[in-house]
Structures are given as structure tokens and as C-alpha cells.
Amino acid sequence: MDVRCGGCNKLFRVSDDKVIGSGIRFKCTRCGEYVAITREAFDEYSLSQAGGAALPMPEPPAPAAPKPPAFEIPSAPRVEEPVKAPAPPSLEPSGFDFRAAQPEEQGFILSKAAPGSAHEAGPPLASAALPEVLEPSPAAKAAREQARPSSQIGRVSTHQRSLDASGDTIHPFASGPAAGIVAGLGCALPVLAVILLAFSIITQYVPLLATMPIYHVAAVSAAGLISIGILIALFLAMLQSWAERKMFSFLGIILGALFGAALGAGHSASLDLISRAGINQARLVNGAIGGGIISFLVVIPLVIIRRTMLTSKKESFSARLSGGQIFGFLFALAIIGFALYGEFLLTAKVQAAAQGTMSALMDMSSTEGLKIINPSGYMDTNGDLVITGTVENAADKEKPVWYLVAEVYDARNTVIIKARMMNGKQLYTQRDYDILVKRGSDVQDLKAKSRERGPALPPKGMMNFEIRIMEPPVGIATFNAMLRQFDPMEMMKEAASEMKQRQ
């Protein structure tokens, strides 16, 4: 059977006994495209060959009756020029390049008669009888016309694409979502079980989740893991289709984990942009590490599932998507959209809760109506600067949080050291604890007492304070004790700055 490559039109001659089962498929030796011979096309070709062979062979003309001998000289018989028999078919090996030769341009076989038959013994055929011998019957013509497309099976056509889509070739938008949903769901089931069984314990560590229905938390968590599986599966499917190399091994796992790390970093960056806080490098790195770890756990079953599904199939964008595959792709996009919506909704709630907590704290620690009366300072026997005074609340409401900062300046009016106090309890630094350890004080007891909440300022009330600056640097010129609004972020930055200076 003859078949041409759909990419470069190269002609191949395939032996009939090699077409077994549902058909054969091989790669073109010139351009690398796959050439396929299906069972249906081979059966049509066999029927056409059988129809051509069944044509009735022309009977040789009857020999002329013998004439009586005569004494006259017979005229010279009319000898017609014999018809040249067509050349026998070329016995070229399979895969021979016929270049521009078309199947219909090859010679037509006159007969399969054995040597010594009536055709061989009879007189030469006249040119007038040639059309009767070579002209096949209408049934043979129809069979030959049906068999003619089988010689062009290698060419890309709508019929061939549909065969590829349902057989050896699959679209990446079909294989990716299918494998990603299965792998993501397999990783999401243990997470869902933990959420359903230990939701009350989780809400103790994440109080915000207590305000959300448990089914919403479970759905968002499952959709997030499934979305990661879908995105990584689509990435691997498109990459494999482009590279024409199957990635069902450790290479696929590494590429999937790296792609997940990029997704994690992009997620952190998008959250920073939405919150208008600016891209934070630490959060970006943490997002990449977290995304890489989660993706590594998801991509392991994903690669195994892809190997099981696509062992004998090739992923190609030339394959046609069926109606069910299009629905599956749209369903996968819907899962990703729900996961993004749930993630950003949860982030918005977290930010709103944090802003509400911060606003409430700022309102409680407002310095409105507060003032310091009679501040004074002295050096004690340990060489510490002790600052004392009175805080007065002139407002008509209680101040549950009041925050005091004492700063020490040198002759250039530069702050050389500071101390903090909240609700009458001094907030010691690591430098203070080191000095107290040298003096033999019980540091653990001081740390435990500092965690206790100090007394609030009653309305129209007063409270004395004493704040100690331990072993201040040389060159003290003056000091100042002031009331400030409590800002935990600023205090954390100052603590981090002091840690860096100590290092």
C-alpha cells in the first residue's frame, strides 16, 4: 500500500502484511511528521485491489478458419504495430523517495496472467482494441476512486485530525486539566479531612477563620490545591507539546516545582500590590518557598498520573478538542477563578481585621487629654538615670493604654539612648537584661511581670511613673519624657535596629 507524508509529501510503500490491528503509525524519515494508516483506510484499499483483480480478462480472438491452398500469390498481410506493454511495477524498498511521482501517474497493470496463457500465445493486440482491454468496468472505477484517498493518508485533513484527537494525539488543554484535577483533588482530600476534623482547633490559632463557614474554608482550600495542580499540568503539557519530549520523570517534577515557586512569588507580589504596601522582598522569598514546597507535593502524583494517561499518546495543539474536553477546560478555569476569588476575599478580610485591630489600638492609646506633670531625673548609685513624674488624664473617659518614651540627648541634641514604658511597666531591651544579669537580678521574673497588663488611667485621674535608663552613655546633656501613641510596627522596627547595632 502506498501512503504519502502530510508534511513533505514523501511517498512510502508499505507491505500489506505489516498493517495489523487497528493500523500502524510511523515517523517520516525526511521531516519527522507521523504518518498513519488506519484499519478503515487499509480495508478500503484491499477492497479496491480485489475489485480490480476481479475484472473479466478479455478473451483472445478465435483463430481464423484455414483457407484452401491456392496457386495465386497472396498479398502481404497487414501487420499492425504491437502495443507496448506497460513497465512492471518498481520493486523499490519501503521508504523510497518518489519525489514528484503521484500514484495516479504510475502505470496500469494489464494482466496477472501466467506465462504461456492465451494472451501470450495470441496475436498482438491492435491499437483499436487497446481501449477495450485497458478500460475497467464502472464498478472498478468506483472502487479505484474510493481507494485513491488511502494513498494520501499521511496528509493532514479534518478526518485525520479527528482520528488523532480520539486516538494517538490529544490536545494539551484536554490532558492538562484532566490530570491536574485528579492530582490536585488527591492532595486536597487529606487537607479537607484535617479541616473538617480539627476546625475548632485551627480557629484558635487563626481566629479570623471562626467568622467564616467551615464549608467555605474547605472549598477555598481544596480549590487552591486543585488550581495549583491544573496550572502545573497545563504548563507541563504545553512544554511537552512544544519540546516533543515526554516529561514523565524527575525532570517533570523539578520543572513543576520551579513553576509552582514562580506562582507563589507572583501571588505574594500581587497581594502586596493590591494592599498598596509595596513589594516586600522577604514576603516574595517566603511566597516562592511556600509555593515550591506545595507544588513539589502536588507534582509528584501529577507526573505519575500523566504517565498513566499519556503512555501511548502525543500532546499536540493540532489535535481537535471535543465538546466534553472543551467543557472540562472551562470547568478547570472556573475552579481557578473560584480559588483566586476566595484567596483575595480571605486576604481582604485579614487586612480589614488587621486595620480594625490597629485602629482600635490607636484609639485606645491616643494621647488626647494626657499630659506629664513635674518630670525630673537623677543618677542613682548604680550609675542609672532615673526619670520620674506624674501622668494626668484630663479626659472624661478611661485610657486603657498609655505609652511613655524617655529620650536622652547629648550636647548636640542627638538622641543617644531611650527607654519605653506602657501602663506604668518598663519595656526592657536585651541590653537592659544583660546588665541586670550581671547585677544578679532575676531576669525571668522581670520578663513574666512585663507581660502582665498594667493599670489603666481612670478618667480625671493621675498616676506616678518611674522609668530607668541603665548605664547611659557618657555625654548626657538633657532628657525628655513624652507621651506617644502606641505603634507596634514602629516599636518592632526600633527593636530590630537595636539588634543590628549590637551585632
> What string of DSSP letters covers 66-132?
PPPP-SSPPPPP--PPPPPPPPPPP-PPTT---TT--GGGSPPP---PPTTSHHHHSPPPPTTTHHH
Q: Is 57 helix (H, G, I), strand (E, B) or coil?
A: coil
pTM given for the model = 0.47
- Written as tens digits, the pLDDT of the chain (503 aa) is 788 888 788 888 888 777 777 788 888 888 878 888 888 888 888 887 776 555 455 555 555 555 554 444 445 455 445 545 555 544 444 444 434 333 433 333 333 333 443 333 344 433 333 333 344 455 555 555 555 444 343 344 444 444 444 457 899 999 999 999 999 999 988 888 877 777 777 666 666 666 667 777 788 888 989 999 999 999 999 998 888 777 788 898 999 999 999 998 888 888 777 666 667 788 889 889 999 999 999 999 999 999 888 877 888 898 889 999 999 999 999 999 998 888 777 777 766 766 777 677 777 778 888 999 999 999 999 899 999 999 999 988 888 889 999 999 999 999 999 999 988 899 988 889 999 999 998 888 888 887 788 888 899 999 999 999 999 998 889 999 999 888 777 777 777 777 676 66
Query: Do 416 and 475 touch, CB atoms closer than 8 A?
Result: yes
Beta-carbon contacts of residue 104 (< 8 Å; ≥ 6 apart): 148
Burial class (CB in 10 A: 0-12, 13-18, 19+), 292: buried
Q: How far apart are CA 182 and CA 226, in angstroms?
A: 8
Strand segments, DSSP code E, in 433-490 are 462-469, 478-484
CB within 8 A of 113, min separation 6: which ones? 57, 119, 120
Length of the chain: 503
Listed in sequence order, the residues at least 6 apart from 224 whose beta carbon sits closer than 8 Å to its beta carbon are 339, 342, 343
Query: Cell numbers 513635674 label which residue?
Result: 374
DSSP lists the bridge partners of residue 388 as 376, 466
Pick from 207, 488, 450: nearest CA to 361? 488
Burial letters 400-425, b for 16+ CB under 10 A, else e: ebbbbbbbbbeeeeeebbbbbbbbbb
Distances (CA, A) of 115 to 12, 57, 209, 292, 457: 30, 15, 94, 77, 126
Q: 398, 392, 388: which is closest to 372 by C-alpha?
A: 392
Phi, psi angles (nearest 5°) of residue 304? -65, -40
Phi, psi of 152 (to 5 degrees): -125, 35
